[in-house]
Amino acid sequence: MQIRFYANMRTTVGMPLLEINDGSVDSFRKLMTLLVEKYPETAFHLLDERGSLRPDVPVYVDGRNPRLTQGGLDAPLQPDSVVSFFSPISSGKMNVEVLSD
């Protein structure tokens, strides 16, 4: 699986690309857990006070917002998935699809 980091996320992790070949990382939620364990400073950018993915963080799995897929953040990841993390949006309207409550 290929993990791509952009903008501040790239700076936080220290690289633009990470390859993960761990079969136990089989959902987006497990990937987030792995990233925070391996790169603790990513928690500030990715997680809210409850430990959930912040709604202002644009993320894509194979070009789609995982929040809108069946299974949401627990939807399975494939060994050939490409996951992209962008920096949180700091102002203005969010330019990503999100589920409304």
**pLDDT tens sequence across 19-61:** 999 989 999 999 999 999 999 999 998 999 998 899 888 999 9
Is 92 domain-assigned? no
Would 95 be classed as within a structural domain?
no
CA separation for the pair 5, 63 (Å, rounded): 14
Residue 98 lies in a domain: no
> CATH code at 39?
3.10.20.30
30: domain range?
2-85
Q: Does any domain span residue 79?
A: yes
**pLDDT for 59-101, tens place per residue?**
999 999 998 988 889 989 999 999 999 987 654 444 454 444 4
In a domain, 99, yes or no: no
Task: Give me the number of domains the chain comprises.
Answer: 1
pLDDT confidence of 8, banded at 50, 70, 90? confident
Which residues face 64 on adjacent strands?
61
pTM of the predicted model, to two decimals? 0.81
Q: Yes or no: say if 24 and 30 are a contact pair by the CB < 8 Å rule.
A: yes
